Amino acid sequence: MKLTTTKRLERLHDRYANGDLSRRTFLTLTAAAAASAGLSMPWMGRALAAVQEVRFDGWGGTVQDAIDKFA
């Protein structure tokens, strides 16, 4: 028997309602289910848009030397 997405989410909600899942776990699993179902939010298109340049602000020192040498 293959579970549908709706049935899985209903079971997840039931486990949360019974106190078997913490709020954090429930929200994590719900977000994972939404992402795997291919749901999109209005802001996702803008967030995935390509940019022409990337700005980097540094404070110098050994970290800046390493970035200059290896990046």
Residue 7 lies inside a defined structural domain of this protein: yes
Segments forming the whole domain that contains residue 5: 1-39
Using alpha carbons, select from 46, 15, 55, 58 the residue that is nearest to residue 66: 58
Residue 25 lies inside a defined structural domain of this protein: yes
Say whether pTM exceeds 0.75. Answer: no
Residue 4 lies inside a defined structural domain of this protein: yes
Residue 64 lies inside a defined structural domain of this protein: no
> Average pLDDT for consecutive 10-residue bins of the chain (71 residues)?
78 91 90 73 62 80 86 76
pLDDT for residue 46? 64
pLDDT for residue 58? 78
pLDDT for residue 15? 92
* Number of independent structural domains in the chain: 1
